[in-house]
Structure 1
Amino acid sequence: IEYGVYACGSRGGQVDTGRGSFQFAAQEAWLIENGELTKPLKDVSVSGLTLQILNDVDGLTRDARLAAPGFCGKGQTVPVGDGGPIMRISQALVG
């Protein structure tokens, strides 16, 4: 990757199922320059249309890591979890 952002972990996020959009705040992020992680970044979030982002995935690692499950809910408790392989996305809105 010549220039990009490596974002990992999550400090939370949200989805709008009606619009098919999502947003999440990365726990950690780094600038990628010429294939190297060069500078730590603060307050990075990724957002977009879910199906478009899935179409823009152009690379996956073979291994996957899953985080400890937790709960999410607004008035109701729903079990949730996160994790998976590292993926490369050709384009996304990063802010």
Structure 2
Amino acid sequence: ARALDYRFPPIPRMRNTCIGNGPHGTFEDMIKDVKLGIYAIDAYGGQTNGELFTFTAGQAFMIRDGKVAERVRDVTLSGNVFDTLRNITGVGSDYHVQDGAGGCGKGGQMPLPVSHGSPHIKIKDVVIGGR
């Protein structure tokens, strides 16, 4: 359990969220067969509610015929956490840590520092909204 400071009770919450390297090579290797997709980069925010989640990308681009194309705005991914984890089809070998990149606001205790890291992740059939 963690608390923002002495004024708050400790509650269960995240600290570091990481996914290790996988067998699917570079980002370019992972997208070469993608006809149409979205490349979501960085985290602008996210939350969970039971089994459901939303995640807003800091930046996003279209992927067309295996290449990164034009920038798109306001991209949000959402869905069932467990279904989305089952729909991971690729885990790259380019692990990167985004240290101190965000804050956990659970229970009104904002912003308790958190960090995260992962290689590129490829997911099929995730709900995406944006412009």
- What TM-score do you get using the length of structure 2 for normalisation? 0.66
SS of residue paired to 1:52: helix
Match of 1:68 among 82, 99, 102: 99
* 1:10 paired residue number: 43
* One-letter code aligned to 1:37: V
Q: Which has the higher contact order (CA 8 A, sep 6+)?
A: 2
Percent identical residues: 33
Higher gyration radius (CA): 2
Report how many residues are paired. Answer: 93
- What TM-score do you get using the length of structure 1 for normalisation? 0.88
- The structure richer in strand per residue is 1
* One-letter code aligned to 1:40: R
Give the Å deviation of 1:71: 3.0
Unaligned runs of 5+ in 2: 1-33
Match of 1:23 among 54, 60, 63: 54
Alpha-carbon distance in structure 1 between the residues aligned to 2:86 and 2:55: 18
Superposition RMSD on alpha carbons, in Å? Answer: 1.4
* 2:71 paired residue number: 40
